[in-house]
Chains A and B, each alone.
Chain A
């Protein structure tokens, strides 16, 4: 009882009122690295208070310390955090370099962070060094591949400009996009895949009318320059992402950009030069008279004609893949940034120009980006930050993927036997390819699929210390931002392409304008106090509102005059416009507690209302969360040096999502018939008041550190349940309605394990080797379902393998038929496990070697790429005699699923880099003091892929993941753009 009054009463009081404390003292000191060099920009904080300051250019600091406080905590990125007792006189603090990442801070709230060593969640954090330090993938999505435990990342296309699907901890939603929410500098930004129309009837004809599902467009996060990023944090599931409530069902990726550091101005010049080459070709089989006879001609060519053409070729063959993707693309990245500042103002200004030409003629990606980040401390009470970014990008992606028209190169090459010469003639004309409507070389040279994007990202933040009294501080934080972008895809097929001969309306052009405006504002109060000397309490109350609006319109003209590129005067003009808008208003209350870094806990609840819920627009939905971590090694009784960290932890959270904007409406559709305006009732009905689907996640983990954290182990188990997941409720087609767009139909559960092992294996003066091994897996199961088993739209093609929602099975499993024609569940798209292995070796003092291996094992893809080649008779092994006595190329066209669903396991050397840092002494003799640092290096991306998989890349997805069928669309391999390897030479000069 006495203990209650002695210890807990102050705690309770501390929650409601600030402490009254009197006198203060000022402490001065100096921070250095182990060699004694000053460390400017280190953070010095009075333990248990919000009093903090930064060291100046010479490493000096001065801080006022309230009475009763007796320790300072000194931290700096890359160094171990130290807690030192306060003494009189100047403090000399020497920081030790840090081999672990335990001092990095990770996000725990809308306006709060925590040291990783205190975190109760497994938050993957990728630092700038990990992101772009080894090699330079052109877009962010490429840069995070293989670096996030718990994620399954697949490229939609190897075409320049990116396009990727990211799934965190399995299946978060079935009908909607599985893409996580992206937050940059505290502000929600757009990561949509906008429709370009490439897949529609007037172009590849992959889909009939609806643009989007098979356009293979990039995600908009590709706009962000990876070199501007300081860190990427991944809140993998609701136990961490609950702070983003109704937008966070699929997890959150929090990106922080680089900011200026205190110290003298530093100018850094980066120049990369490189080239890119196709990673793999599938090859094409040679033909013989016998083969032509077995085949019965060639595809769409009669036997007689095929034999004539074969004879005419006289043994010559053409390698079409090489003709189209055999080019060497050139890479040029130039970056210049200036950063610096003093204790009041800091700045980071960066400009970048990136240009890459593709492995296919007339394809490529260019990005110009300018960023200015400013931090200013107005006075001791008020500081603010401004981040501003302008991006201009251009992508030319060519035509690949699904097709019903003769436009997609990858789709049509498989049908052309290699004894035909399809090369452009010297007079500029293209030979008619027998049996085909279109010569692919003409598409390469004359068809266009480009996209231009302009984007402004601006955000600002202001923090005001409303009052500080002793160990208590009340802060007001205001944050806001705008993400405005306009992307303008153009798709163009000239009127005199060969395929147009059969088309009534010759030539087509589609100009699309996608406009998006996201705004975000947040206001929060944060009260921090310390009671009983070492119990730190933080209470926060946050209000926020975010508004999103996208406006997509296009005008398409079919039937063009020669060289006409204005759709509005075409023979048939079509146009369309779709507006999506939504607002979320939320309140969030949280309480965090930290007892001397021994026990760290937090609880919180967020209340959201969202216009996406239709008639429920004014209803609040509540998302609770709680977490606790215990640092056993920080207790007094722990006294072994061998084990430096023991942290059991547990976290729970809820989040949710709305799969689409349109789900609450039953639209009447307009038609124009016989010159009269008509309307037809919908075949898709909306549920006018829709509750979000809810994801609930519990996570348990244990973090261990050995030998002063030279070796750390993080192990996490989670179970994420998506309750009442929304899915199209397919009605009996005999009703004349195909479905209710979204309906709560069941539950599904994801369970997985994530294990990370980091070790500083060798640490000598001339040789350092640190290595990190990450293992993760996930299994998903539908645990409740109140609809009949149902095939998921855009998850595959018919019996060639597609996904099905069925009770007790994995929603990512493939379904097809066996030899007897029975429908069976065959293999899973989700891999059994993934493993990545990253190594950094520093040798001979000035050399750095980095290597990132990544493997995915046991995942299966549904591949139609081989079927196309088997049908066309061009598979390399087509003529090999199979079990039935027929060539395998014929056998494999049977309908059983084993012909199409293959093991897509692979081992990939994602990144490889070797750098040399020119010794400072050498620079001094060469350039005086002008040049501070010079670093040279070579690197490569996707250098080696070890796989038995048939196809250009085992990481594929024909369908867009941003709209279409969303989460379950992955793994459909239908003639994608071939994967490219990239090689770089790097030069980095610091002035």
Chain B
């Protein structure tokens, strides 16, 4: 009897343990951050606003690697990182590009921005907190951003192309099944579709305002009406690579191009020292030794005398020169000594312009040239020349006037100096089949035509063939 009593006591004790708070566990909500699920459905107005600011901040992601890597392959610069020789050995073609290596930051960044823009515009579409016009505004903004960043990605990939379908957040699991890589032409068609859809959405938005703050970097382009002009500038770039000269001219005319305006007009990426923000990744101190961005040895000698983009006070010191002479010339082993370094920003919080009037005018000149309207092209080129301290072509190079091929060379020359380190030179030389004219610093060097499809993408396609 007594034993039974004890057994019962034990059972009760066990039951008590089982039911007591000791055995209770609760779901642990993430103590460190809010989750993505909280915005995809029924986001608040404030959450959409924050996603919009977030997208604006990530457009700048990848700007350093995009400009520096393409600038290295296009022989504008040599990135002489003291602690990582791959940056100059790989990019100058001394050793093969590693498809699984460290050169693909821009690829991930641009694709991530595309997805983040998608999440923003879908979150906007899936909430009752916004008006239809505001939803359209968010969508138009997102698509324009996608077209802008993915054009950069496409140019780096060259004929390897990009994935033109990547996610459909509305159907579960689709994330795991991205579409195939499309070739360069097809990819451009995709981008054109994006930017035109974006324009249509912005038109639908009418006179409303974006459902998020547009940061100062947009300047006059911050309104819906202004942003349409940015959309057209992006459309112009796409048309340029499509060699659709009529569309190019039309788009430029609807953009913020000003044929006799400030060359530096245009939107910019912002930087600051504030927590949660970033600093200007291209900025370097003078005579930096650890990660200097050196100017390729032929850049200065091949410039015209008096060119303010090359000679005189650097942009970092308030002048116009994109470069500055180092007190200590330097170079990786066996390279020609490089006397200059890139100096385009006064501080590490200086904004980075990412689509300038100067580029629009140069695209205009190219459209006119290709349409054999040479006089208009010369006028535009002369404006670029005179603004940068050079004499008009009639005085400086009278021989080229009236000669289309010579004028194309002149155009490429102006693009080389005006758009230095803005991510153009390599692609310019490629589209005019002139990669073989780029200088090699060592006989073992070579010029890549494009980046490989990243190893992770190739691996993915082996296991999950795309449809």
A-side interface residues toward B, CB under 8 Å? 17-18, 295-297, 299-300, 302, 403-406, 411, 415, 435-437, 466-467, 499, 501-505, 521, 523, 525, 541, 543, 545, 559, 571-575, 577-579, 581-583, 585, 609-611, 614-615, 617-618, 662, 665-683, 685-686, 730-738, 787-791, 798-799, 821, 871, 893, 895
Closest to B36 in A: A666
**Across-interface contacts of B459 in A (CB, < 8 A):** 730, 788-790
Contact (A733, B289) CB under 8 Å given A300-B82, A504-B279, A673-B54: no
**Across-interface contacts of B34 in A (CB, < 8 A):** 667-668, 679
Alpha-carbon distance between A871 and B17 when the two chains are bound, in angstroms: 65
- The answer to the question of B50 belonging to the interface, with a C-beta cut-off of 8 Å to chain A, is yes
Please give me the 3 A-B residue pairs with the lowest Cβ-Cβ distance, nearest first.
A736-B115, A674-B215, A678-B53
**Across-interface contacts of B30 in A (CB, < 8 A):** 662, 665, 667
- Cross-chain pairs A/B with CB under 8 angstroms, 5 sampled: A17-B3, A406-B82, A614-B27, A674-B217, A734-B178
Alpha-carbon distance between A523 and B13 when the two chains are bound, in angstroms: 11
Alpha-carbon distance between A256 and B85 when the two chains are bound, in angstroms: 50
- With both chains docked as a complex, state the minimum distance between the C-beta of B17 and any C-beta of chain A, in angstroms: 5
B330's contact among A300, A577, A583, by CB below 8 Å, is which?
A300
Candidate in B85, B216, B275 with the most chain A CB atoms within 10 angstroms: B275
- With both chains docked as a complex, state the minimum distance between the C-beta of B147 and any C-beta of chain A, in angstroms: 15
- With both chains docked as a complex, state the minimum distance between the C-beta of B344 and any C-beta of chain A, in angstroms: 15
**Across-interface contacts of A682 in B (CB, < 8 A):** 36
Contact (A679, B167) CB under 8 Å given A437-B290, A504-B285, A734-B178: no
- With both chains docked as a complex, state the minimum distance between the C-beta of B219 and any C-beta of chain A, in angstroms: 12
Closest to B31 in A: A579
Contact flags B44-73 to A (C-beta < 8 A → 1, else 0): 000100111111111000000000000000
- The answer to the question of B1 belonging to the interface, with a C-beta cut-off of 8 Å to chain A, is no
Contact (A733, B111) CB under 8 Å given A437-B289, A672-B276: yes
Alpha-carbon distance between A671 and B31 when the two chains are bound, in angstroms: 18
Alpha-carbon distance between A585 and B28 when the two chains are bound, in angstroms: 14
- With both chains docked as a complex, state the minimum distance between the C-beta of B153 and any C-beta of chain A, in angstroms: 9
Alpha-carbon distance between A733 and B176 when the two chains are bound, in angstroms: 11
Alpha-carbon distance between A727 and B329 when the two chains are bound, in angstroms: 47
- With both chains docked as a complex, state the minimum distance between the C-beta of A210 and any C-beta of chain B, in angstroms: 13
Closest to B167 in A: A735
- The answer to the question of B302 belonging to the interface, with a C-beta cut-off of 8 Å to chain A, is no
Does B277 contact A666, Cβ atoms closer than 8 Å?
no
Known: A668-B33, A674-B57, A732-B457. 16 other contacts (CB 8 A): A415-B82, A435-B289, A437-B290, A499-B290, A585-B23, A665-B30, A665-B35, A667-B30, A667-B32, A673-B57, A732-B163, A732-B178, A732-B456, A734-B162, A736-B114, A788-B460
**Across-interface contacts of A893 in B (CB, < 8 A):** 85
**Across-interface contacts of B25 in A (CB, < 8 A):** 583, 585, 609-611, 617-618
- The answer to the question of B206 belonging to the interface, with a C-beta cut-off of 8 Å to chain A, is no
Contact (A581, B289) CB under 8 Å given A411-B83, A732-B178, A735-B175: no
Contact flags B210-224 to A (C-beta < 8 A → 1, else 0): 000101110000000
- The answer to the question of B10 belonging to the interface, with a C-beta cut-off of 8 Å to chain A, is yes
Does B456 contact A733, Cβ atoms closer than 8 Å?
yes
Contact flags B269-291 to A (C-beta < 8 A → 1, else 0): 01011111101000111011111
Contact flags B3-45 to A (C-beta < 8 A → 1, else 0): 1001000100010010000111111101111111111000000
**Across-interface contacts of A615 in B (CB, < 8 A):** 27
**Across-interface contacts of B285 in A (CB, < 8 A):** 501-504
B275's contact among A574, A611, A679, A685, by CB below 8 Å, is which?
A574
A662's contact among B3, B32, B51, B81, by CB below 8 Å, is which?
B32
A737's contact among B84, B115, B275, by CB below 8 Å, is which?
B115
Closest to B180 in A: A734
Contact (A404, B175) CB under 8 Å given A467-B6, A674-B53: no
Alpha-carbon distance between A574 and B456 when the two chains are bound, in angstroms: 33
Contact (A674, B23) CB under 8 Å given A300-B289, A411-B83, A662-B32: no
Alpha-carbon distance between A674 and B50 when the two chains are bound, in angstroms: 12
- The answer to the question of B100 belonging to the interface, with a C-beta cut-off of 8 Å to chain A, is yes
B53's contact among A559, A583, A671, A731, by CB below 8 Å, is which?
A671
Does B36 contact A667, Cβ atoms closer than 8 Å?
yes
A543's contact among B22, B26, B167, B215, by CB below 8 Å, is which?
B22
Does A676 contact B213, Cβ atoms closer than 8 Å?
yes
Does A668 contact B38, Cβ atoms closer than 8 Å?
yes
Alpha-carbon distance between A615 and B25 when the two chains are bound, in angstroms: 11
Contact (A680, B116) CB under 8 Å given A667-B32, A731-B460: yes
- With both chains docked as a complex, state the minimum distance between the C-beta of B423 and any C-beta of chain A, in angstroms: 20
Closest to B213 in A: A676
**Across-interface contacts of A17 in B (CB, < 8 A):** 3
Does B36 contact A673, Cβ atoms closer than 8 Å?
no
- The answer to the question of B86 belonging to the interface, with a C-beta cut-off of 8 Å to chain A, is yes
**Across-interface contacts of B57 in A (CB, < 8 A):** 671, 673-674, 678, 680
Does A545 contact B23, Cβ atoms closer than 8 Å?
yes
Does A798 contact B101, Cβ atoms closer than 8 Å?
yes
Alpha-carbon distance between A731 and B288 when the two chains are bound, in angstroms: 38
Does A666 contact B35, Cβ atoms closer than 8 Å?
yes
- With both chains docked as a complex, state the minimum distance between the C-beta of B54 and any C-beta of chain A, in angstroms: 4
Does B35 contact A667, Cβ atoms closer than 8 Å?
yes
**Across-interface contacts of B118 in A (CB, < 8 A):** 736
Does A671 contact B54, Cβ atoms closer than 8 Å?
yes
**Across-interface contacts of B28 in A (CB, < 8 A):** 581-582, 611, 617
Does B83 contact A404, Cβ atoms closer than 8 Å?
yes
**Across-interface contacts of A575 in B (CB, < 8 A):** 275
Does B178 contact A679, Cβ atoms closer than 8 Å?
no
**Across-interface contacts of B277 in A (CB, < 8 A):** 671-673
Contact (A736, B166) CB under 8 Å given A405-B290, A665-B30, A788-B459: yes
Does B288 contact A677, Cβ atoms closer than 8 Å?
no
**Across-interface contacts of A585 in B (CB, < 8 A):** 22-25
Contact flags B453-467 to A (C-beta < 8 A → 1, else 0): 010110111111000
Closest to B21 in A: A545
**Across-interface contacts of B111 in A (CB, < 8 A):** 733-736
Alpha-carbon distance between A753 and B181 when the two chains are bound, in angstroms: 48
**Across-interface contacts of B107 in A (CB, < 8 A):** 733
Contact flags B189-229 to A (C-beta < 8 A → 1, else 0): 00000000000000000000000010111000000000000
Alpha-carbon distance between A681 and B215 when the two chains are bound, in angstroms: 19
- The answer to the question of B347 belonging to the interface, with a C-beta cut-off of 8 Å to chain A, is yes
- The answer to the question of B337 belonging to the interface, with a C-beta cut-off of 8 Å to chain A, is yes
- The answer to the question of B119 belonging to the interface, with a C-beta cut-off of 8 Å to chain A, is yes
Alpha-carbon distance between A691 and B85 when the two chains are bound, in angstroms: 43
Alpha-carbon distance between A232 and B17 when the two chains are bound, in angstroms: 32
- The answer to the question of B244 belonging to the interface, with a C-beta cut-off of 8 Å to chain A, is no
- With both chains docked as a complex, state the minimum distance between the C-beta of A523 and any C-beta of chain B, in angstroms: 7
Alpha-carbon distance between A686 and B162 when the two chains are bound, in angstroms: 26
- With both chains docked as a complex, state the minimum distance between the C-beta of B465 and any C-beta of chain A, in angstroms: 12
Closest to A665 in B: B30
Does B270 contact A674, Cβ atoms closer than 8 Å?
yes
Candidate in B47, B82, B85, B178 with the most chain A CB atoms within 10 angstroms: B82
- The answer to the question of B317 belonging to the interface, with a C-beta cut-off of 8 Å to chain A, is no
Does B329 contact A502, Cβ atoms closer than 8 Å?
no
Candidate in B273, B333, B462 with the most chain A CB atoms within 10 angstroms: B333
Alpha-carbon distance between A893 and B334 when the two chains are bound, in angstroms: 15
Does A671 contact B276, Cβ atoms closer than 8 Å?
yes
- With both chains docked as a complex, state the minimum distance between the C-beta of B333 and any C-beta of chain A, in angstroms: 5
- The answer to the question of B185 belonging to the interface, with a C-beta cut-off of 8 Å to chain A, is no
A673's contact among B56, B166, B464, by CB below 8 Å, is which?
B56
- The answer to the question of B131 belonging to the interface, with a C-beta cut-off of 8 Å to chain A, is no
**Across-interface contacts of A662 in B (CB, < 8 A):** 30, 32
Does B276 contact A733, Cβ atoms closer than 8 Å?
no
Does B116 contact A681, Cβ atoms closer than 8 Å?
yes
Contact (A437, B22) CB under 8 Å given A579-B31, A798-B102, A895-B95: no
**Across-interface contacts of B463 in A (CB, < 8 A):** 787-788
Alpha-carbon distance between A611 and B29 when the two chains are bound, in angstroms: 10
**Across-interface contacts of A666 in B (CB, < 8 A):** 35-37
**Across-interface contacts of B98 in A (CB, < 8 A):** 798-799
